[in-house]
Chains A and B, each alone.
Chain A
Amino acid sequence: MIETPQKIIKTSTGRSLRTEEMVVNMGPQHPSTHGVLRLEVVLDGEIVVDVVPHMGYLHRCFEKHCEHMTNYQQVIPYVDRMDYTAAMTNELAFVVGVEKMLKIEVSERVHYIRIIMAELQRIASHLIAIGTFGIDMGAFTPFLYCFRDRERILDMFEATCGARLLYNYMWVGGLSHDLPPGFVETAKQFCVDFKKTLKDLNDLLNYNEIFIKRTANVGILPKDLAINYACSGPMLRGSGVDWDLRRDDPYTLYHKFNWEVVVGKGEVGTVGDVWNRHMVRQREMEQSVYIIEQALASLPDGDVSKTIPKRIRPTPGDNYTRIESPRGELGFYIIAEDSVTPYRIKARAPAFVNLSVINEISKGAMLADLVAIMGSIDIVLGEVDR
């Protein structure tokens, strides 16, 4: 339990004032928690002394459910619902892991489409992160720009697989549907238009004086602390660590494309502060556009569902597969026994691990800065609680 010690201070006129620390509950219904997270904040005046996160409000026993499936393929819709703002990358992580255990090789077209989808999803997810972060900081307009473009991505997903949020699109060994007619042209046009949005966001939000005042030099996460807490994704890169699983532990065909890993440089503040994490997301979207453009330009022909097996029975053993989701290292630890049901699936959710550092980086910050720090971690509670 948290104790609230009392202390006596003297005012300038010599009067004695009794002060004490106070405990404030942020959440579970606070808008800046982006879901249902409760933060127990110990405050000394307006300065944060301690933050104790309480989660589990959205716990749906994902791992227990997986053990009671009759098939590995049945896990995929559940995986969608973990990080519901980036369902495509969740599917990709799980599917890549199972394929590795089955030793299935999918066709080049499947790889390409998966990469296009994963990168579109990364843009869509970062647009939510940036838009809602803007709202948290009091900038409402960028949110509308973000959601206008996210809508176009969702329309493309809807045309492809019929769903806008939870797709069940990537299956073990292939995809549920091939790309619809006209997809390539629509996506190409989107890439052209989206570059303008990126510039607009820079003008509206990222280099806005008020926004910089709110975010620069706030919530600084040093490099070694980030590694010790196993932070990943924009959290880690914002702290200046040159690290991206798409390049450093390659999966599918990312090594075929030209793109750069974005690292926080600290132009307006310190490396590892809230602004840098935000900026990594902004610049990552640009890199994603480059990847999509290259993939669309050289999309091979082929069948996307030829190798989908009816019943999956991996060789007994265990395997940990990780990919770079929009939030960082998303891993699935899968143990298979000689059965069609997984013996154990553990999801290593990036938001869960990234959130664990919050107490460390918000000590000494103002209460209003805590909102900025929360927004910059970009948590999705569906993934934290699973």
Chain B
Amino acid sequence: MTAQEIYDVIKAQCGDAVLEAKLENVLDPSIKIQPEKIHEVAAFAKNDERLQFDYLSCLSGVDYKGKLGVVYHLYSMTFKHKIVLKVEVPTETPNVQSVESIWKTADWHEREAFDLFGINFIGHPDLRRILLPDDWEGHPLRKDYQTPEFYNGMKVPY
């Protein structure tokens, strides 16, 4: 299926959850979804007969300066088509629904996005830091992150 057909199928099913789409003149066509509807759209994209997006290639957190985002790269092993879903949430209340129950691989990806961006994935069974130490403060991949001067009493070199 082309990106336009995928968009039409998703739009027909979950109309108001779809905010906007960039389908032409881009390298990866993407659809922007409401953050409180992402679980519903993701479940539909995986289970629908025509879409069958059974493979979540990558889940990335992004800081858009003022907003935080999550980007889902979906792929279908059966039909070999792909689509990108994006959600954006305000930095102050970064709540996104977890898709861990749909694709198990999202478990660690979401933990990583929580660790480095502080995105709160609602419904994630085990949301804790994955790469940084448990007592680390702040979320380093945010654009406004300040490196702390001290960590556990040790001076951070620069």
Interface on A for B, CB 8 Å cutoff? 55-56, 59, 61, 63-64, 100-101, 225, 227-230, 241, 243, 248-249, 317-320, 322, 329, 331, 333, 335, 344, 346, 348, 352-353, 356-357, 360, 385-386
Contacts and interface: CB of A to CB of B under 8 A. Distances in A.
B77 A322 contact: no
13 contacts: A56-B130, A59-B131, A63-B141, A64-B140, A249-B80, A317-B27, A318-B71, A320-B84, A348-B58, A353-B105, A353-B109, A356-B108, A357-B104
B142 to A, nearest CB: 10
Contacts of B140: 61, 64
B28 A230 contact: no
A333 B130 CA distance: 20
- How would you classify the secondary structure of chain A's contact residues: helix, strand, loop or mixed? mixed
Contacts of A385: 131
A318 B29 CA distance: 10
Given A249-B80, A317-B26, A317-B27, 9 more contacts: A56-B130, A56-B132, A61-B140, A225-B104, A230-B105, A318-B71, A320-B84, A331-B57, A344-B62
Interface in B34-82: 54-58, 60-63, 71, 73, 77, 80
A346 B108 contact: no
B76 to A, nearest CB: 10
- Of B28, B56, B105, B132, chain A has the most CB atoms within 10 Å of the CB of B105
Nearest to B129: A56
B141 A64 contact: yes
A227 B131 CA distance: 24
B107 A356 contact: yes
Nearest to A320: B73
Contact of A320 (B56, B57, B108, B132): B57
B83 to A, nearest CB: 11
A333 B131 contact: no
Given A353-B105, A356-B107, A241 B77 contact: yes
Contact of A348 (B57, B61, B107, B131): B57
A311 B108 CA distance: 36
A353 B103 contact: no
B157 interface: no
Given A56-B130, A227-B54, A227-B77, A63 B116 contact: yes
A180 B62 CA distance: 42
8 nearest A-B residue pairs (beta carbon): A230-B105, A346-B60, A348-B58, A56-B131, A319-B27, A356-B108, A59-B131, A229-B105
B125 interface: no
B105 A333 contact: no
B133 interface: yes
Given A319-B27, A320-B28, A55 B131 contact: yes
A24 to B, nearest CB: 20
Nearest to A334: B27
Contacts of A344: 60, 62-63
